[in-house]
Amino acid sequence: MRRLLRSERGFALPMALGVIMVLGILGVAAATYTLTSGSSAAQSKGSLQALQYAESGLDSAYSLLWNANLAGSDPTTAGIIGTSGTPKIFCFIQGATCSSSGGSPGSASVYGCYGGTSGTTCNGNAVPASTWWIVSTGYGQTNDGQTTARMMSSTAVIHALNTQQAIGAVWNHIFITAPLVAGVCQTTFTGNTLTLDAPVYTIGNLCFNGNTDNILENGQPVDVMIGGKLVFAGNTDSIGAHNAPITSGVVQGNCASSINGAATACSGWTNNWYVRNTENYISQDSPTLTNAQIEADYSGFDPGPKHTCLTGTTPSPLNANQLDFSVQAGEGTTVMPGNSGSGSSGGYFNLTPNSSYACISQSGISTGYLVWNAGNSSMNVTSGGSTLLTVPAKTLAINGDIYFDSGVQVTQTATYTGVAEIMASGLIQMTSNSVTLCAVNTSCTYSSWQGNTGNNSMLTLASVCQSAYGCSTPASAFQMIGNTETFQGSLYTLPTAGFTLTGNTETVEGPMSIGTLNIVGNTPIFKPLPAIKNMPIGAPLPPNIGLTIDPMTIVH
Q: Dihedral sign for Cα 239, 243, 246, 248, please.
A: positive
Mean pLDDT along residues 512-527? 87
Asked whether residue 17 carries a pLDDT value surpassing 60, the answer given is no
- Amino acid 331: pLDDT: 40
Arithmetic mean of pLDDT, 411-438: 95
pLDDT exceeds 70 at position 6: no
Report the C-alpha gap between 493 and 500 in whole angstroms: 11
Instruction: Please give the pLDDT value at position 165.
Output: 33
- For residues 147-170, average pLDDT: 66
Cβ atoms 528, 172 nearer than 8 A = yes
Stretch 91-112: mean pLDDT, rounded?
A: 83
Residue 63's pLDDT is: 84
- The confidence score (pLDDT) of residue 73 equals 65
Per-residue pLDDT reduced to its tens digit, 258-275 = 999 999 988 765 568 999
Mean pLDDT highest for which of 177-191, 284-298, 427-441, 448-462? 427-441
- Residue 24's pLDDT is 45
pLDDT category of residue 87 using cuts at 50, 70 and 90: very high
From the CB of residue 180, how many other CB atoms can be counted at a distance below 10 Å?
A: 17
| Strand 230-232 to 357-360 pairing | unpaired
pLDDT band at 381 (very low <50, low <70, confident <90, very high): very high
**pLDDT number for residue 19:** 39
Residues 193-222 have pLDDT tens digits of 888 888 888 889 999 998 888 898 887 778
What pLDDT is recorded for position 343? 65
Q: How far apart are CA 255 and CA 260, in angstroms?
A: 11
How buried is residue 394: exposed, middle or buried, by Cβ count under 10 Å (0-12/13-18/19+)? middle
Cβ contact 322:421 at 8 Å: no
Residue 475 CA to its chain's centroid (Å):
26
CA angle at 321 for the pair 372 and 479, rounded to the nearest 5°: 60
Calpha distance 456→534 (Å, rounded)? 7
CA distance 74 to 544: 7
CA-to-CA separations, 13 to 144, 331, 489, in angstroms, rounded: 44, 117, 92
Q: Evaluate if residue 26 carries a pLDDT over 90.
A: no
Q: In the predicted model, is pLDDT for residue 246 greater than 60?
A: yes
Asked if the model's pLDDT at residue 540 lies above 60, the reply is no
The model's pLDDT over 169-193, given as tens digits with 9 standing for 90+, comes to 445 678 888 989 999 998 888 888 8
Element (H, E) at 46: helix 2-70
Element (H, E) at 255: strand 255-256
Instruction: Average the pLDDT over each of 21-30, 79-88, 112-121, 539-548 and give the range with the smallest value.
Output: 21-30
Residue 345: band (very low, low, confident or very high) from pLDDT cuts 50, 70, 90: low
Q: If 0-12 CB within 10 Å is exposed, 13-18 middle and 19+ buried, where does residue 67 land?
A: exposed
Share of the chain above pLDDT 70, in %: 80
Mean of all residue pLDDT scores within the chain? 82
- Note the pLDDT of residue 279: 77
Instruction: State residue 71's pLDDT score.
Output: 57
CA nearest to 234, candidates 216, 198, 254, 258: 258
- Measure the CA–CA gap between 92 and 109, rounded to whole angstroms: 11
Say whether 540 sits in a helix, a strand or coil.
coil
Identify whether the C-beta of residue 192 lies closer than 8 Å to the C-beta of residue 98: no
Q: Are 460 and 490 in contact (CB under 8 A)?
A: yes
pLDDT value of residue 88:
92
CB atoms within 10 A of CB 418: 23
The whole-angstrom separation of Cα 507 and Cα 9 is 105
Identify whether the C-beta of residue 450 lies closer than 8 Å to the C-beta of residue 470.
no
Beta carbons within 10 angstroms of residue 263's beta carbon: 18
- Measure the CA–CA gap between 415 and 434, rounded to whole angstroms: 14
- Of 100-104, 324-328, 338-342, 432-436, the poorest mean pLDDT is in 324-328
The 10 Å Cβ neighbour count of residue 146 is 12
Per-residue confidence (pLDDT) for residue 335, from 0 to 100: 58
Q: pLDDT class for 530, splitting at 50, 70, 90?
A: low
pLDDT at 13: 35
- What's the rounded mean pLDDT across residues 495-520? 90
Beta strands per DSSP E along 366-506: 369-373, 379-383, 386-391, 395-404, 407-410, 414-424, 428-430, 436-438, 458-463, 478-480, 486-488, 490-493, 498-501
Q: Residue 29 pLDDT > 80, yes or no? A: no
Residue 460 and residue 538: Cα distance in Å, rounded?
Answer: 10
The enclosing H or E element of 195 equals strand 195-196
The pLDDT assigned to 230 comes to: 95
Q: Do residues 197 and 222 touch, judged by C-beta distance below 8 A?
A: yes
Residue 403: pLDDT over 80? yes
Q: Is the peptide bond before 221 cis (omega within 30 degrees of 0)?
A: no
